[in-house]
Amino acid sequence: MRATTAFNRIIAIHGVAVSGVTFAPEGVVVRIRRRKRSHQCPCGWTTKSHYDRSTRRWRHLDLGLTKCFLEAEICRIECPKCRRVRTEDVPWARPGARHTKDFCAVVAWLAQRVDKTTITKLLRVSWEAVAKIVIDVVGEVLNDDRFEGLARLGVDEVSYRKGHRYLTVVADHDREGRVVWAKAGKSAATLAAFFDELGPQRVAKLEAISLDMGIAFEKAVNEKGPHVRQCVDPFHLIWLANEAINQARRWAWNEERRVLAKRSPGRPKLDEARPHDHARWTKHTRWALLKDPASLSDGQLAVLHELRRNNSLLYRSWQLKEALRDLYRLADPAAAPAHLEWWLRWASRSRIPAFVKLAKTVRKNRERILAAIELNLSNSKLEGLNSKIRLINHRGYGHHSAEAVIAMIYLCCGGLTIELPTSTLA
Ligand SMILES: [Zn+2]
């Protein structure tokens, strides 16, 4: 068998013939040419003539231990449709790419599964190349089909990098929280851009949208989709309740200190005892108060019982938090409005500042909180999405541009299928 025939089988790109093979210091260089004589513009127009020609190389999948490059002549053509000189399309690589489609498919397939360092070591490519390849592959695979049939959406802001860089992410409640859209920023204008991209016909079919309690997203939905029923995501409310617990802990510490100082003037100075006591206090109460009661350790349960025996303000804070969580655990969802009303009365009279404040916020969002329960948008698929996006950052993909992070979010959370080049082989 001749070398070129053997390499034709190894390279296995349809419509391409191997014309020569050389061994260069950087690896095997396989010279290829297209069997078709005509050149195709990226717009689809074809011609037999060309403007000029040059030789280019693309990195292809490794051959054993050796890197492999495809080398071919590539032409520029004068396209009457685009009214300018453009570089022709080639079947083995995307426009402007330095890697073949097969190589890119392997990178994207791995990026869905492993961390970035693994890919750079395994395939001997740079971090930058991985980021660019993911952007290119996602750009090709992603299409408007994902906008079809949308009815119940969730919107959330995600921080993707230190220094307050945020993305707005839109996910589909009816398709396991699959990401349908993401963009840098977290303002009303950011979310408004999603509605514009969706178009009036698809917006008209939207039924419900779950949001945080901020005003930015609310404003965008009020303007762009006033018919869409707004809900508050349960995990935002529970997060606020946990924040209230943290505030109450700090407040209660100062409060008990003040009471102690009044009662016992003869005791040692409180300031002396403070560093030790404060640390102990913080350590002992934090998880006992924040964790789900069902998963508390014996020690944490003991802390809770101690707080209860002392009739501590913190014990009441904890009761208030758990009572708010009960809103999402009611056997009969129809009882939710009454439960919330009862909770609001209790919290606003609690005289614990953090919970009085929380009660005000809850009252303001009452309709939207109850709508989430009524429409059963309470299964927190979006919360799972948040942890998936954190995982993308942990795997080393979060340090690039917003564009690169968004491409990774589509790749890992958008339900995209990446086929390996070998998947079509027997
Ligand atoms: Zn063209």
Q: For residue 115, tell me if it sits in a domain.
A: no
For position 102, what pLDDT does the model report?
Answer: 95
Please report which confidence band the pLDDT of residue 271 belongs to, taking 50, 70 and 90 as the band edges. Answer: very low
Segments forming the whole domain that contains residue 153: 144-233+379-421
The whole-chain average pLDDT of the chain stands at 88
Q: How confident is the model at residue 275 (pLDDT cuts 50, 70, 90)?
A: very low
Asked if pLDDT for residue 376 goes beyond 90, the answer is: no
Any idea what the CATH number is for the domain that residue 221 is in? 3.30.420.10
Domain match, 171 and 73 both: no
pLDDT band at 398; cut points 50, 70, 90: confident
Q: Is 286 or 188 the better-scoring residue by pLDDT? A: 188
45 C-alpha to center of ligand 1: Å? Answer: 6
The CA 103 to ligand 1 mean position distance, Å, reads 26
Cα(74) to centroid(ligand 1), Å: 15
Beta bridge mates, 68: 28, 60
Q: Do 191 and 286 fall within a single domain?
A: no
The answer on pLDDT for 149 being more than 60 is: yes
Q: Based on the domain organization, do 224 and 327 belong to the same domain?
A: no
Mind listing the pLDDT tens digit for each residue in 24-45?
Answer: 999 999 999 998 889 999 999 9
Ligand 1 centroid to residue 40 C-alpha, Å: 8
In this prediction, residues 257-282 reach a mean pLDDT of 56
Cβ neighbours of residue 273 closer than 8 Å, sequence gap 6 or more = none
Residue 155 and residue 200 in one domain: yes
Q: E strands, 137-197, where?
A: 152-161, 165-172, 178-184
**Dihedrals phi, psi of 163, to nearest 5 degrees:** 90, 30
pLDDT of residue 272: 42
370 and 240 together in one domain: yes
Cα(83) to ligand 1 centroid in Å equals: 7
Same-domain check for residues 362 and 304 = yes
CA of 48 to the centre of ligand 1 (A): 14
Query: What total number of domains does the chain contain?
Result: 3
Domain stops at, among 82, 98, 114 = 98
Residues with CB under 5 A from ligand 1 (ion): 41, 43, 45, 79, 81-82
At which of 98, 127, 152 does a domain end?
Answer: 98
131 within domain boundaries? no
- Residues 217-258 pLDDT 10s: 999 999 999 999 999 988 889 999 999 988 888 877 777 677
pLDDT at 56 over 70: yes
- 26/40 same-domain check: yes
89 and 6 in one domain? yes
Q: Are residues 268 and 370 in the same domain?
A: yes
Cα 329 to Cα 369: distance, rounded to the nearest angstrom: 14
